[in-house]
Chain A
Amino acid sequence: MTRTLRLLFACLLSLGLGIAASSPALAQQRPPARDVPAAPSDRTQAPAPVGRVDLQVMVVYATESHSKVDPSLGQLAGYLRNLRYTGYELLSTQKASLSPDGKTSFNVDGGRKVEVTLLSRDERRARMRVEVSDKKGEKLLDTTLSVNRNGTFIVAGPRHKDGILVLPLTATY
């Protein structure tokens, strides 16, 4: 093959890579900007409209009966291991979009319910009220808290089978 032909192919390749790099598809793989905490999990999701907060609740089953860790838990597994449970399984993921003063409810395994009310949000933090009820409808937890933008907090402890449920909640906007 002549040198000219190789050069031509190299140029085509560079052109193709350059166009691909500017496309949204490959843009997903870039590391996020450091000044804004990256939205977790689904990066293809468009940011919430102005004033709204996208809430994601994961239902994780933690047990000591086995030592398998669901790979989809990603970074979360590293923190959950501190709870001394050996096995973690992602049961479900639920999402909702809330506007200020909006309320949503998530049904969790074992007949439990997680209700979240978005009280307010600004550029940096989202303030919400989280209520967890047991299968009898009695309130187990009632807390008002604020979390940083795209931040995550976890509610853990409700019993499930021979272990507990761990509920990471993430507020993205």
Chain B
Amino acid sequence: MTLSRLQSLELRAVDGFASADELSELGASPEALDAAREPGGLLREALLPASTPALVDAVMATLEIDEPARLALVSALAVDRAPELADAVMAQLGVAEWDSRLLADALGGGPAPELADAVFAQLGLADPSAGLLAALLADDAPELADDVMAQLGFDDLAFAGLRDALAAPRGPDLWGAVSASLDLDDDAAAAAAWPADRDALRAALADPAGAPDLRDAVMVRLGLEQPVLRLPVGANASPAAAPRSWGFAGVALAAAAALLLVFTRPVAPESDAVMAVQLSAINNVEIEELSVSEDAMVQLLQFDENAPTIIFIEDLGSDEEGATL
């Protein structure tokens, strides 16, 4: 390619080698008026072809695409919608017509296909509406109680008894069995032999524990069968009822005992050994911190609301046999 005078001047101007005379000559040239608005415009026009060469025919000839194929390719490239390939793809996959419909529906987001019948047919469960399957598929829980009780061998009578015992608001009545074991049956002979004792035993077992009066028993145990002083009350207060000798001696002894108590200094008992331990009514412990050795285990026990708290340590590292609660 040979550059013209103006193209050479422009090239020199763009590269910065043009002299002032050359720049003046370039600016005065009518061909460079438009092209000179941009540096290198004349060169660009020389390099760019006036028209795009026709390459399609050359490409098609090279690819050996005949006219019908070319027209089809052109049509496919120019089409607005994607070509329908479903049938061709399904044919390639070997999927039958009805399968394709199901697949299409499933893929197309339509309603879920009904597969239950096909699944049950595959599992060999011909009639899904019967038996266990129906129970599993049922909306409500099946009634199994009767079947279970029949399997356990509980007839209605036994079950009723068991049910009543379990549902009873209070514990079962054991008196019958206890009385039978103690030979305290309700027959006439036993009732005659154990009239008062049986009733007393039953009453004692049924009644809540009270505060029994142990005074008399204690006095008898201590050998003081007759109190030192007994102030008569009511009918027994009449002087005629009390033996005169015992009354005078009793009063005298009581007075002497009272005077001895008054004028005798009491001896403090040995608190360590003689007096029994009496605990406070309230024994409340609040544990802030507690740690034991690695070979020990600790338990906190309290057997009653106000009972002393027991910090029970089990030394696991000892060679001796373990302590148990």
Contact = CB atoms under 8 A, between A and B. Distances in A.
Contact of A1 (B244, B261, B310): B244
B313 A157 contact: yes
Contacts of B141: none
Interface residues of A, number: 64
Nearest to B301: A82
Contacts of A156: 310-313
Contact of B251 (A10, A23, A58, A142): A10
B229 to A, nearest CB: 8
A168 interface: yes
A20 B259 CA distance: 8
A20 B262 contact: yes
A152 B239 CA distance: 53
A50 interface: no
B277 A134 contact: no
A162 B282 CA distance: 32
Find the residue from B272, B282, B287, B325 having the highest chain A CB count within 10 A.
B272
Interface residues of B, number: 58
B307 A141 contact: no
A142 B291 contact: yes
A13 B23 CA distance: 156
B236 interface: no
Nearest to A13: B255
Interface string A1-39: 101001001101100110110011110000000000111
Interface in A63-88: 71-76, 79, 82-84
B2 interface: no
A76 B277 contact: yes
Given A13-B251, A138-B293, A157 B308 contact: no
B181 to A, nearest CB: 26
A17 to B, nearest CB: 5
A72 B277 CA distance: 6
Interface stretch (B192-200, B212-220, B315-323): B315-323
B288 interface: yes
5 contacts: A9-B248, A25-B265, A140-B313, A156-B311, A159-B323
User: What 4 A-B pairs have minimum CB-CB distances, sorted nearest first?
Assistant: A16-B258, A74-B276, A42-B271, A157-B313
Given A76-B277, A141-B311, 18 more contacts: A3-B239, A6-B248, A9-B251, A13-B254, A16-B259, A17-B258, A38-B281, A41-B277, A74-B275, A75-B277, A83-B312, A145-B285, A145-B287, A151-B282, A153-B311, A155-B311, A156-B313, A159-B323
